Structure 1
Amino acid sequence: MYKIVEKKILAPSIFMMKILAPRVAKSARPGQFIIIRMDEKGERVPLTVCDTDVENGTVSIVVQTIGCTTKAMEQYEEGDSFFDFVGPLGMPSELLEEDKDKLKNEKIMFISGGVGAAPVYPQVKWLHENGIKADVIMGFKNKEMVILEEDMKNVADNVYVATDDGSYGFKGMVTNRLKSLVEEGNKYDTVIAIGPMIMMKFVCKLTEELGIKTIVSMNPIMVDGTGMCGACRITVDGETKFACVDGPEFDGHKVNFDEALKRTTMYKTEEIQKDSIQKGCKVGGNN
């Protein structure tokens, strides 16, 4: 059993939990993910690692309540425990394999959309700890949905917040903000985009026009997390890849986003049916 030692509400329907899992905390690298099962018969939920504390043996995750399982997970409180907390899974960020002196001479831009800020944070934090600067554009629907802004400011060189409705920061999409920064004379060697599939698609469309190398994280289409279910199958440069074992990060300009977007809707009907039928989803945790 894996105990919840801290829980914090970040925004409506978005919460953060710190889970006591010393072995995972010691091994997890930026870019990797874990799988949670709330109970013995529970659904496997893949979630990106947001942060780790090796000294205290905790792993931080950020969850947005969307389906039946995450809504039930939201009812768990500090002191409750999850049945399974498996990881780290997937490949670490390719930044960790790059020459650090080379990275110090590059201009790196991260772009996050919504809860995509959670998997962006550990990568920017790792860069900061190694003396490497990075800028971040964080996109949200409105001011109320902004998360992890202060945490990001503590590790990033520059943080640019954009909201769709203009209620906070720059008014417009993250692509508009990136374009405006480039027009202001900023030059970027690499863009790393993590967020909703449609956001990553249009970021890649823009960066291809601008000639900027772009990495995307395909974690939105993961289901099983081991490559066995095939739900995260994608086409990259004409070859079949599995996001959970070959990724989740890939060259964004080589990903077939149209195919991937179709795959994200595969289980929508079943999820809606499950949510309506199981209004009695397990509420509360176990001690």
Structure 2
Amino acid sequence: MYKILKKKTLAENIIMFEVKAPMVAKSAKPGQFVIVRIDEKGERIPLTICDYDKDLGTVTIVFQVVGASTKKMSKLSEGEFLLDFAGPLGNPSEFVSLNTDELKKKKFLFVAGGVGTAPVYPQVKYLREKGIDCDVVIGTRNKDLVILKDEIEALGCRLYICTDDGSLGFKGRVTDFMKKLFDEGNSYDEVVAIGPMIMMKFVCLLTKEYNIKTTVSLNSIMVDGTGMCGACRVTVGGETKFTCTDGPEFDGHLVDFDEAINRQNMFKDEEVRRLHHSRECSCF
């Protein structure tokens, strides 16, 4: 059993848990994820690690309420427990394998869409702790959906906000702002994009024009988290990969995004059906 030490609502339907999980915290690295299960009848929920503290033995996760299981998890309170909290799973971010001298030769641009800001945070934190220069762009529909703004600013990197309605920061898409950065003479060795699949697709189309290496995280299509269900199959460079075991991060210029988007949409109707069913059951 894993105790929820802290719960915080970051935005509408976006919840943060700080969980006591010493063994997971001890081995966690940026880019990895955990599998959470609420109870014996609960489904497995893969969630990218947002933060971890090896000394305190805590791991922070952020999730969006999109289906019956995440709706149920959002009802848990501080002091309550999760049955399973398995991890860390998946491969850490590629830059973790580089030494500090190698990293200091690079400049990173992180592009986060909505709840994708959560897995971006530990990567930026890791680099900033080593004194590595990086910029961060967060894109959301409006200012109320921006999360972890203060936490990222506290890391000392340059943070830019883009909102569709212009309620905060730049009005427009993250790709529009990225192009503005590039055209103004800002140069980057690598772009890391995490967010909605369609956002990552167009980020990669743009960075390919500018010949900038781009890494994406396909965590949103994971289901089982062990490679056994096959739901997270994706074509990368003409080869079939499993997001949970081969990723979750891949070379964005090699990902077949159209296939990945179609695969992700396969489960939407089932999620809606289960969510409606859970609401009906709660009425009796």
Specify if TM > 0.5. Answer: yes
Once the two structures are superposed, residues 241-286 of structure 1 have per-residue CA deviations (whole angstroms, 9 ceiling, x without a partner) of 0000000000000000000000001111211211112216789xxx
How far the C-alpha of 1:156 sits from its partner, in A, is 4.5
1:135/1:156 contact within 8 Å kept: no
1:199 alignment partner, SS class = helix
How far the C-alpha of 1:99 sits from its partner, in A, is 3.4
How far the C-alpha of 1:102 sits from its partner, in A, is 2.2
1:49-60 alignment runs, 5 A limit: 49-60=49-60
Q: Which residue of 1 is the match for residue 163 of structure 2?
A: 163
Rounded Cα–Cα distance in structure 2 between residues aligned with 1:62 and 1:89: 16
Rounded Cα–Cα distance in structure 1 between residues aligned with 2:181 and 2:261: 28
1:181 alignment partner, SS class = helix
After the TM superposition, which segments of 4 or more aligned residues of structure 1 sit over 3 Å from their partners? 280-283
Identical columns (%): 59
Q: Which residue of 2 is the match for residue 16 of structure 1?
A: 16
Q: Which residue of 2 is the match for residue 150 of structure 1?
A: 150
Paired amino acid for 1:62:
V
1:274 aligns with 2:274: yes
Q: What runs of 5+ residues in structure 1 fail to find an aligned partner?
A: none
Q: Which residue of 2 is the match for residue 206 of structure 1?
A: 206
1:162 alignment partner, SS class = strand
- When structure 1 is superposed on structure 2, of 51-60 and 231-240 the one drifting more is 51-60
Paired amino acid for 1:276:
H
1:117-136 alignment runs, 5 A limit: 117-136=117-136
How far the C-alpha of 1:62 sits from its partner, in A, is 0.6
Q: Which residue of 2 is the match for residue 110 of structure 1?
A: 110
Measured at CA, do residues 281 and 97 of structure 1 come closer, stay the same or move farther in structure 2, by a change above 3 Å?
farther
Rounded Cα–Cα distance in structure 2 between residues aligned with 1:192 and 1:265: 23
Paired amino acid for 2:76:
Y
Rounded Cα–Cα distance in structure 1 between residues aligned with 2:256 and 2:146: 29
1:118 alignment partner, SS class = helix
1:34/1:49 contact within 8 Å kept: yes
The number of equivalent residue pairs is 283
Paired amino acid for 2:48:
T
Rounded Cα–Cα distance in structure 2 between residues aligned with 1:69 and 1:262: 22
Q: What runs of 5+ residues in structure 2 fail to find an aligned partner?
A: none
How far the C-alpha of 1:155 sits from its partner, in A, is 1.8
Q: What is the TM-score of this pair, normalised by structure 1?
A: 0.96
1:185 alignment partner, SS class = coil
Q: What is the TM-score of this pair, normalised by structure 2?
A: 0.97
- When structure 1 is superposed on structure 2, of 255-264 and 104-113 the one drifting more is 104-113
